[in-house]
Amino acid sequence: TNNNRQYVIGVSQCSEDIWRDKLNNELVMSTYQHDNATLKFASANDNDKLQTEQINQFIKEGVDLLIVSPNQIHTISSVIDKAYDKGIPVILFDRKTDSKKYTAFIGADNYEAGHEMGHFIAQQLKGKGRIAEISGLKGSSPAIERNRGFMDALKAFPGIKVVSRRYADWLKQKGEDEMDSIIARNMPISYVFAQNDRMAIGALQATEKHKIKGIKIVGIDALPVPGGGMENVRDGRLEASYIYPTRGDLVMQLALNILEKRPYKRDNYLKGALVTRDNANVLLMQNEEMNKQTARLTNLHGKVDTYLAQYNHQKVYIFLFSVI
Ligand code: FRU
């Protein structure tokens, strides 16, 4: 390997939220161990056109590798194909495109996540009941795959009916709006499967606002941060969630394996896990311990300030770039 070579990696995020913040932080932290990598971030605010422009910009700047979470499967494919055809290695993470032109994929198995949640709800309902599904953005691969897994799991339970499916684009406010209309239609349901925790919390707020009791809600992500899914499950506001891992360390490791021509796998599936009231507390405790160790490591490396400055600078760059 050539350790003197300095690599620039472009990270194209489709959205900005606490899940992506966690991932971005993990990526930056990983550069402490690999000081031959510099990261550039761009965040597209759920906008296909903006994400396409940002990736085009990364291509123009000549990044050595692209890490992309494509907003939707069709819309971002052509610019990713363009990067790939120019010889820039492309890592898709978390979300996929409908194109075969990528170097590697890393992320959780969304079919599995949906399947686990379907099975959990069916068990809770003892095989009988009416469910609403609040889906993420229609053309994004996790929304499609989570739905597929969910519906497949329910096939074993003929007494369970999915009576409503609505798109809330991964957003909390839209989750609340969609739940408002479900409630307005007087649809008798006993469970809501929201495809992420933000929409689940939005839906929960709608039930609270209308003083509706007896509707249980699950989500996905289970972030162990304040206000995240893990706390909401622990506190009994959500029935369950599913750890949708970020693992920026592994994303970075994959990037460097590709850049430094070490062997790697093309498709890398990260393990998720069901979170219920029974394990949420223990998981939060473990996470607290991990956070302390991470803080210690970061201190040891003495890079906190430089990292923050750099990151802020990049945020500014991203912001300026997004308004053009
Ligand atoms: C974060 C997010 C998560 C969801 C994932 C799906 O941007 O919306 O809440 O699990 O993306 O790609």
C-alpha distances out from residue 129 to 160, 204, 293, Å: 5, 19, 45
Confidence bin at 301 (pLDDT 50/70/90)? low
Please report the atom of ligand 1 found closest to the CA of residue 221: 10
Please, which pLDDT band fits residue 118 given cuts at 50, 70 and 90?
very high
Above 70 in pLDDT, residue 252? yes
Task: Identify the pLDDT of residue 149.
Answer: 98
At residue 317, does pLDDT exceed 80? Answer: no
Q: For the ranges 189-203, 268-282, 304-318, which has the lowest average pLDDT?
A: 304-318
Residues 6 or more apart in contact with residue 211 via CB below 8 angstroms: none
- The tokens for 117 are 């949640």
Higher pLDDT, 307 or 141: 141
Predicted complex ipTM: 0.97
- Measured N-to-C along each axis, helices 248-259 and 18-30 cross at an angle, to the nearest 10 degrees, of 50
3-class state of residue 169 by DSSP? coil
162 CA distance to ligand 1 middle (Å): 22
**Helical H runs in the chain?**
18-30, 48-61, 77-85, 110-124, 141-154, 172-184, 197-209, 229-234, 248-259, 280-301, 304-323
Q: How confident is the model at residue 309 (pLDDT cuts 50, 70, 90)?
A: very low
Q: Is 15 in the pocket of ligand 1 (CB under 6 A)?
A: yes
pLDDT for 5 beyond 90: no
Predicted confidence (pLDDT) per residue in 12-66, tens digit: 999 999 999 999 989 988 888 887 899 999 999 999 999 999 999 999 999 999 9
Q: Contact, 73 vs 87, CB < 8 A? A: no
Cβ neighbourhood burial of 1 (10 Å; 0-12, 13-18, 19+): exposed
Residue nearest to atom 1 of ligand 1 (CA): 19
5: exposed, middle or buried (Cβ count in 10 Å: 0-12, 13-18, 19+): exposed
Task: Judge whether residue 316 has pLDDT over 50.
Answer: no
| Ligand 1 lined by 170 (C-beta under 6 Å) | yes
Residue 308 has pLDDT above 80, yes or no: no
Kindly give the distance from the C-alpha atom of residue 76 to the centroid of ligand 1, in angstroms, as a whole number. Answer: 17
Expressed in angstroms and rounded, the spacing between residue 274 Cα and the centre of ligand 1 is 16
- Which is nearest to 24 in space by CA: 242, 243, 199, 252? 252
d(CA 236, CA 68): 35
- Distance of CA 24 from the midpoint of ligand 1 (Å): 13
Query: How far, in Å, from the CA of 170 to the mean position of ligand 1?
Result: 6
For the stretch 168-202, pLDDT in tens is 999 999 999 999 999 999 989 999 999 999 999 99
Confidence of residue 313 (pLDDT cuts 50, 70, 90): very low
How many percent of the chain have pLDDT more than 90? 82
- Residue 259 CA to residue 246 CA, distance in Å, equals 21
> What pLDDT was estimated at residue 293?
79
- Residue 135's CB: how many other CB atoms inside 10 A? 24
Q: What share of the chain is helix, strand, coil (3-state, %, to 5)?
A: 45, 20, 35
* Angle at CA of residue 321, ends 47 and 167, nearest 5°: 15
Of the candidate ranges 136-140, 162-166, 226-230, 299-303, the one whose mean pLDDT is the lowest: 299-303
In angstroms, how far is CA 122 from the centroid of its own chain? 25
Q: Is 19 in the pocket of ligand 1 (CB under 6 A)?
A: yes
What is the rounded CA–CA span in Å between residue 239 and residue 123? 12
- Buried b / exposed e over 149-163, threshold 16 CB at 10 Å, is bbeebbeebeebebe
Point out the least confidently predicted range of 80-89, 286-295, 299-308: 299-308
Instruction: Give the DSSP letter of residue 271.
Output: P
Residue 3 pLDDT exceeds 60: no
User: Cα–Cα distance between 186 and 56 in angstroms, integer?
Assistant: 47
β-pair type (240-243, 273-276): antiparallel
User: Per-residue pLDDT for 222 more than 70?
Assistant: yes
Distance CA 174, CA 137 (A): 11
Which residue owns the Cα nearest ligand 1 atom 4? 196
